[in-house]
Structure 1
Amino acid sequence: MSPEELHAIELLRQVPYGRVATSMRALPFLALARHIVVDGKVVLRMHAGFGYHQACNGSVVSYGADNCNSRESRLWSVQFTGTAQIVEPTTAELELFGPVPHFVDGAVFDPVYMRIEPQLVTVHTLAGIADRREQHEQPDRQYQHVL
Structure 2
Amino acid sequence: MPCDDYRALELLSRTPYGRVSASRRALPFTTVTRHLLIDGQLVLRLHRGYGYHQALDGSVVAYEADNINSGASDTWSVQFTGTARVFEPTPGERALFGRTPRLADGVPFDPVFLRIEPQFVTLHQLTDVPAFQFARMA
2:28 counterpart SS class = strand
From the two aligned structures, give the one with the greater helix fraction: 1
Corresponding residue for 2:91? 91
1:101 counterpart SS class = coil
1:102-121 correspondence to structure 2 within 5 Å: 102-121=102-121
1:9 counterpart SS class = helix
Which structure 2 segments of 5+ residues have no match? none
Give the alignment's Cα RMSD to 1 decimal: 1.4
**Normalised by the size of structure 1, how large is the TM-score?**
0.89
**Normalised by the size of structure 2, how large is the TM-score?**
0.95
1:139 Cα deviation from its structure 2 partner: 6.1
Aligned residues: 138
1:11 counterpart SS class = helix
Corresponding residue for 2:35? 35
Q: Which runs of 4+ in 1 moved over 3 A?
A: none
Overall identity of the aligned pairs, in %: 53
1:3 Cα deviation from its structure 2 partner: 1.3
Q: In the superposition, relative to structure 1, how do residues 124 and 111 fare at CA in structure 2: closer, same or farther (>3 Å)?
A: same
1:136-147 correspondence to structure 2 within 5 Å: 136-137=132-133
1:50 Cα deviation from its structure 2 partner: 1.1
Which structure 1 segments of 5+ residues have no match? none
